[in-house]
């Protein structure tokens, strides 16, 4: 996707959302799109929440160890402050941001920025997660990606928490979560 000119001659912005369960390739796809924008000589910046420090404090890193430099921020409002003069803005782990993220993304898109957001659409209890549902409603483009069920090999769309800990937000990896299909998730919750 490259920039289109509107009939007013101004650059047109939009929002793309990449969502799905853990281990479905969301971050990998985000990085791929941002690298393509860099190849096209577009000015690119990526943001991630400070809370996501699993692999690196400043890089966005996928599970397959692909990485790209990012700017960690505490709140979505900081994204708007730092996103001046960029053609493309990427946001990883969007589910961890506050509810203002949708407004921030819309402001950026209204200013002519391509905004690419990646995040979990559901938490470990299959409930909508953070600002993602609102972003899905606002986005021009939505891609739902799937993992492989760790129990049966079918497509997985749920992030099953394997440790006994309450609370919606818990940053973790394979030691704490497994991707499951609908049937295996239901079996695991019994």
Q: What is the distance between the alpha carbons of residues 167 and 187, in angstroms, rounded to a whole number?
A: 21
Catalytic annotation present for 93: yes
Catalytic residue among 45, 93, 140, 173: 93
**CA angle (133, 15, 111) in 5-degree steps:** 125
CB-CB neighbours of 151 under 10 Å:
17
Q: What is the distance between the alpha carbons of residues 32 and 38, in angstroms, rounded to a whole number?
A: 10
> Looking at residue 40, what DSSP letter applies?
T
- Strand, coil or helix: what is 104? helix
Active site residues: 93
């Amino acid at each position: 996707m490259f920039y289109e000119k509107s009939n007013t001659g101004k650059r047109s912005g939009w929002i793309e959302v990449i969502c799905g369960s853990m281990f479905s390739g969301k971050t990998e796809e985000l990085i791929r799109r941002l690298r393509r924008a860099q190849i096209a000589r577009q000015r690119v910046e990526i943001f991630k929440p400070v809370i996501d420090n699993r692999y690196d404090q400043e890089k966005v890193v996928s599970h397959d160890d692909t990485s790209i430099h990012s700017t960690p921020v505490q709140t979505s409002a900081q994204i708007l402050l730092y996103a001046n003069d960029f053609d493309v803005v990427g946001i990883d782990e969007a589910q961890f941001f506050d509810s203002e993220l949708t407004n921030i993304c819309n402001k950026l898109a209204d200013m002519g920025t391509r905004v690419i957001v990646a995040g979990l659409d559901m938490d470990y209890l299959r409930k909508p997660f953070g600002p993602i549902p609102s972003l899905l409603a606002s986005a021009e483009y939505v891609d739902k990606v799937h993992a492989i069920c760790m129990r049966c090999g079918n497509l997985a769309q749920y992030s099953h928490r394997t440790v006994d800990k309450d609370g919606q937000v818990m940053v973790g990896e394979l030691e704490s979560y497994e991707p499951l299909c609908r049937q295996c998730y239901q079996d695991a919750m019994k």
